[in-house]
Amino acid sequence: MPGITREEVAHLARLARLELADEELEHFAGQLDDIIGAVARVAEVADQDVPPTSHPLPLTNVMRADEVRPSLTPEQALSGAPAQEQQRFKVPQILGED
């Protein structure tokens, strides 16, 4: 696999509007070449019989069960509100929308 050249790094830097010194071009060319090599090795390992996953271990829901419990009535919840409308808290408009 051909390595990443200084010219390719300079081109990428221009596209990203980055100003790089000559020693940075050499340094980043080596780093980018290592990264591309690592990705190529991973691509070799991944095979058709390996299913794609988002996590290495199965996830389980750790939240409690949704159970109905006694709570405030709408009247009790709105009793201390400075303003209410249609059993909801009424707040000042902030975005100028209807």
Asked if the model's pLDDT at residue 1 lies above 60, the reply is no
pLDDT digit string, tens, across residues 13-33: 999 999 999 999 999 999 999
Report the range of poorest mean pLDDT among 1-15, 21-35, 66-80. Answer: 1-15
How is the chain split into domains, by residue range? 6-45
Q: 6-45, superfamily in CATH?
A: Glu-tRNAGln amidotransferase C subunit, N-terminal domain (1.10.20.60)
Residue 45 or residue 89, greater confidence: 89
Q: Secondary structure of the chain in the HEC alphabet? A: CCCCCHHHHHHHHHHCCCCCCHHHHHHHHHHHHHHHHHHHHHHHHCCCCCCCCCCCCCCCCCCCCCCCCCCCCHHHHHCCCCCEECCEECCCCCCCCC
When the pLDDT of each residue in the chain is averaged and rounded to a whole number, the result is 87
Confidence of residue 71 (pLDDT cuts 50, 70, 90): very high
What's the average model confidence in pLDDT over 43-56? 77
